[in-house]
Each structure stands twice: as structure tokens, then as C-alpha cells.
Structure 1
Amino acid sequence: MEPAILVIDGTYIYIQKSGQFMFQRRSYSMHKHRPLVKPMMFVTTTGYIVSVLGPYFADSKNNDASILNQILNSNIQEIKEWIQENDVFVVDRGFRDSMDLLQQLGIQTEMPSFSKQRKQHTTGESNASRLVTKIRWVVEAVNGRLKTWKYLDRVLPNSQIPYIGDIVRIVCAIFNKFGTPISTGDAEQDQLLGSKMLHLSRKQNSLWERIEREGLFNRPSKWQKMETTTDIIFPVLTEEDLRNLTLGVYQLKLARSYTQEHMSETGGYEVSICKVDANLINAKIQSRHFSSKLYQLWVSFDDCNVQGWYCTCRAGARVVGTCSHVASILWYMGFARHLDKSFDFSKDWTQYLQDASYTPDPISIDESDDEGNTEE
């Protein structure tokens, strides 16, 4: 019998702040910084919702791992009867404290790599994490669907708390019966994509190895800043080519915003070209989360194809798809700059706000009046 594959994650239903202090403490999420309750979702890789358990409290005693441990130890909904040895649970890093229990039950667990000791995952860790996230997105899509119901997308009054669990289960049942499938792709194409990702996951990042070997990192003397990106003969890419390189659409969605922030005054992306290899470019990308952090990336190419990439971000060493920083360079250099129409960037709202960190130059005030007399 084929093993079952379940994708597990908690979702959030926001509630009012309670006047009952014990409940207020236990329903306050330090992660979201607001009161909420947490239903736990069990979903197949096709988006079918197998079960919704809870809702649970939101305090530190009710993190994802604690909730799953309680479900398994208490055999809620007789879960041990419908999961078997060698079944697969796909989870995020929040379930890392459940790994021992799942191993005892014979459940195979797939989780993105987790490491606080290093600033960057190895190529193998990054590749393995991408394989997991490619499967795990389905539970995020299901959770997003729940919030399309306005009742579940707003802050619920506390008088509705007794009914939240039943309402979420009813909505999920409606989705299972009448909703469009989450995954609408061709089965054969999905099989080919999966095989491609597995093949790439066994490879090393040769560009990273070359950068280390040739000392191209932090060596300004080996790079020349290009005034205009038209001087670089970069391969022209279609939208399908970009999806084949990123192996997803999430990175391409972020690519536009990264490009918008890094466009120069002359309208081009600021990149540098290697003095000893015209088919190797370098760029620095501002982190979207931290103002003090810049990521450095490299892309190698020939006349027709992108050959490799490497970025100093946490996931930038992977070869199973690209990070969003590399996707930004690929999107602009290979696709966007060849379009005749202007880019459809996000609206810049900064012009409508004041900036207290900006201090204008002191204005010299002439204290003399029009007659040349100094006022007292």
C-alpha cells in the first residue's frame, strides 16, 4: 500500500481581547502579537482537507509541536487508527519538538532545514528545504482559502468562541465538496517537475565553489561596475524560462519589488561584470526585512542560458530553484528590460509621509531688514 502524505500546519482565527485575565494571557500569541485561537489543519498534497482539530489556545504552551504531541498522545479522532507506519508528515520548523514522537510511531517526517549556528544553509540543506516547501505550500493555500470567508477573516467577538471550531469545519467541508481543486496542474507535468527537482537536489553549487576557489568574494579589483545594463549580453528569457529556473512563482512575485528598489536613476539595474569573465555578473541586493543587511549575489551565463547562481542569503546556495534575490536579477536582465512597455511596479507611498530621520541643512537666516538695518 502506498504511504499517505499529510501536510500539517496551524492557522489563526483572530478574536477580541478578553476581560478575563487568564483567558487573555492564554489566547495571546507572542508570534502574532494579538489574541487568537489556533485550529490545526491536516491536508493532503492535493489540497483535500482531511481533518481540522481544535481550536487551541495561542500561548507558548500551545505551539505547533505541543498541539501535535497532544493530538497523537490523546489519540484525538482516533488518529492512530488512520495513520500507519511509514506514512509521511510534511511540516514546518515549528514542529521540530515532535520529531522524536513521530519517529517512535514510525512516521516519516519532512521538515525544512533548521540551523542557528550558521548564517547560511549548505547546498544540500537548501536543496532539501526547497523540496519540502514545494510540497508544503498546499496547506498555506488552504489556510488562505479559509480567510476568503469574511466571517473568518475578521476579528471575531468573544461570544463566538464556542462556535469557531464547528464553523471552520463546516467551511472546510464545503471546500472539499464544492471548491475548485488547489492543484490543477497536469499530472504528467507534475511528475516531470518532481523528477527534475530530485535530480537537481543531488547537485552541488559549482558557481559557489568557483567563487571561493578564485577569490571573487569581496575583491573589488576583479569587478567593473557597468553604467548601463545594455552593455551586458545576457540571454533573453521568457516567462516560462523564468519559471523553469525558479521552479515556482513566489520568487518571481518578489522579483518585481526587489527590482523596483534597485533601479538606478538612469533606469537600469546596478550590476558589475567580472573583468576576467564577461559571462559572470555580480550585484548587491538590499534585504526587504533589515535596512542594515545587504546580500551579494553572482550569476553566470552564456549566450543562450543561465548556467548558475549563488547568493549570500540563507537559502542562496541552493540549485533547486533560486532565491528571490537571484530571481530579481534574472527577471530584469533576461525579461523585463526587453519589454517595450513600462514596468508595473507597486505604488510608492513614501512621498505622503514625513521622515523624522531626515535633517535638512541649516538655513542661513539674514537678520537684516530691507533697509540694511539689523533688527533688535
Structure 2
Amino acid sequence: RVKFYTGVVSVQMFHTLLSFILSFWQPELTSLQPQEQLVLVLMKLRLGLLNDDLACRFRVSAKTVGTVFHAWLDILSCNLAKLIVWPSQRAVRRNRPCAFHDPVFRNVIGVLDCTEIFIQKPSYMLARSQTYSRYKHHNTVKVLITVSPSGAITFISRAWGGRVSDKELTLKSGLLNIVREGDVYLVDRGFRCQEMFAAKGATLLIPAFTKGKKQLSGAEVTLSRKLSRARIHVERAIRRLKVFRIFQTVLPISFVKKSGDGAMCTIDKALIVCAALTNLQLPLLKK
């Protein structure tokens, strides 16, 4: 049941993670041992538990829960970010799963998608406007995710207000700085950023749509079906990420506040940690 409570695949993996962190960092002394502190942090991420709930379970104060959570999250996000790796074109081809053996996917490096996470309504009108998502009809933050053909998360942006467009988010995320000439990415119909990727020598594969046409040609229908089937895998990877129930809750405003320019907010750190833990699971697709 370790995976259910912590999101870590096994007890052995949990102890490996704990030993790795303790090899260079010692947490602040509390009534909780380091092992208990890590369990507390992972339970908050995996189960989305409130601090008061965790305080009762671990017999500490809610303030201690908050202190432990943020201290460990800082360390985990800094060090587990190394598990989110942008792959070389050669590595992607070498590990290409059967579902991507079709010639149309020959140069596909990844699948791009955006996902949104609910947040509380900000008190300031400007922030309220910047975070209101017309798609979700709620205040949200939005992140851009890239998933490799095998299902590994290879890029995750920082969170931006839910009102941001896919195009603006792509520009702000820094993704274009690592896109290479010859790269091909699968995207949904609504992801209209072809020009930005073309300027980098990259291509977006988009399912055809009937705008301005009475119907699609047979070739367009066949290609669109192939692309849609392949895109299902990025949706499965995002579902893996959202198994961490903290992303299914309505997050407090404190999670999206930054301490200064360039600083990461709590939601950014949580996304990195959970994406890294997701990458430690078995590949979604086999070679």
C-alpha cells in the first residue's frame, strides 16, 4: 500500500529516496523522525490531505506539518528535477514503443498538452481576472507538459494564470529554447503554435478539422485517427500525474504566491516532485 499512500512504487524505492536525501541534508529536528517526515510530505501530495488531518495522524501541530512540508518540498523539488530529462532524438528513436512505429511518427519527440489545476478565487481583481479559465469556468493555474512516446514526462512548465493562451504559455515556459531542428510534436487541434515551432525548424502534427470544408478526405481521416490514438498516451501520463490528489483539490492562494522574482511557488515545486515520482514508475508503453 506504499504506492497508494505515497505515490512511490515500492518500499525499497521509498528507502532509496530517503537515503539519497539524507546523504546531503538533515531536516529540522521535530518529534518526527526523517522517515516519518517524508511519509507526511508524500501523503499530502498523494492524498491531498489537509494539514489539520496530517497533524492528527502524526500527532503534531498543524504548524509543524506546514514547516515540514515546505522544507522537504524545497529539497525534493531541487534534487528530483534531474529525473525530468529532455531526451535526445536518438534516445527517443531507440526507445520508441510499438504504438509509435508507424512512419508518420518517425521523428516524433513528444506529445504536448496543457492541463489546469483549480485554485481559490484571489481577492485582488487583477489576479482574479488573470486566473479565471473560460474553459473550466473556475480560477485555475495552467501548465504545459511534454510527454515522450514511452510516456515519460520530459518537460513541465511553471504554473501560469488559467487565462493564459496556449501560445503565450509556450513562449513563457522556455520550451522553445530546447526545441531542436527536425523535432516533431503531436498536439491537439486547439494548440495553434505552428509558426513558433516552424521558426525553430520543428513541426507540429495536428489532427485535421473540417473548418472551411464540408468533409475530410480519406487520408486526413486516417491520419487524424492515428494522431488521436497516439495522443491518448499523453492523457494517460497526465492522469498518472493527477493521481496525486493534491492536484484534484482547490489549492489555496498561498500555493501560487512567489517569494520573489524568479522564485518558484509551492505548486511549481509540487508539480516537479510528482512528475519525477511519476517517471520512476514503469513506462506506459513497451518497446
> Shorter-chain-normalised TM-score: which range?
0.5 to 0.7
Which AA in structure 2 matches 1:68?
T
Structure 2: runs of 5 or more not aligned: 1-89, 94-106, 257-264
Aligned to 1:171, which of 274, 277, 282?
A: 274
Aligned mate of 1:27, from 131, 143, 151: 131
1:63–1:94 Cα contact (<8 Å) kept: no
Q: Does 1:67 align with 2:162?
A: no
Is the 8 Å Cα contact of residues 65 and 94 (structure 1) preserved in structure 2? no
Question: Which letter does structure 1 place at the counterpart of 2:124?
Answer: Q
Match of 1:131 in 2: 226
Alignment of 1:99 with 2:194, yes or no, is yes
CA shift digits 1:184-215 (9 cap, x unpaired): 4xx4xxxxxxxxxxxxxxxxxxxxxxxxxxxx
Does the CA-based 8 Å contact 1:16-1:158 persist in structure 2? yes
Give the structure-2-normalised TM-score.
0.57
Q: SS at 2:276's partner residue? A: helix
Which residue of 2 is the match for residue 140 of structure 1?
A: 235
Q: Is residue 7–residue 139 contact of structure 1 (8 Å, CA) maintained in 2?
A: yes
Give the structure 2 partner of residue 40 of structure 1: 144
Q: In 2, distance between residues paired with 1:157 and 1:120?
A: 46
Counterpart amino acid of residue 274 in structure 2: V
* More helix per residue: 2
2:86 paired with 1:86? no
User: Shift of residue 123 of structure 1?
Assistant: 2.1
The answer on 1:154 being equivalent to 2:249 is yes
Identity of aligned residues (%): 29
CA offset digits 1:120-170 (Å, max 9, x no partner) = 433222211111112211111111112211211111111222300110110
Larger RCO (CA within 8 A; separation ≥ 6): 2
The alignment yields a C-alpha RMSD, in angstroms, of 1.8
Q: 2:154 aligns with which of 50, 53, 62?
A: 50
Aligned equivalents of 1:37, 1:83: Cα separation in 2: 24
Report the 3-state secondary structure (helix = DSSP H, G, I; strand = E; otherwise coil) of the residue aligned with 2:159: strand
TM-score (norm 1): 0.44
Rounded to whole Å, the distance in 2 between the matches of 1:43 and 1:152 is 18
In 2 relative to 1, CA 42–101 (structure 1 residues): closer, same or farther, beyond 3 Å? same
The separation in 2 between residues aligned to 1:129 and 1:174, in whole angstroms, is 32
8 A Cα contact 2:108 2:186, kept in partner: no
Aligned partner of 1:112 in structure 2 is 207
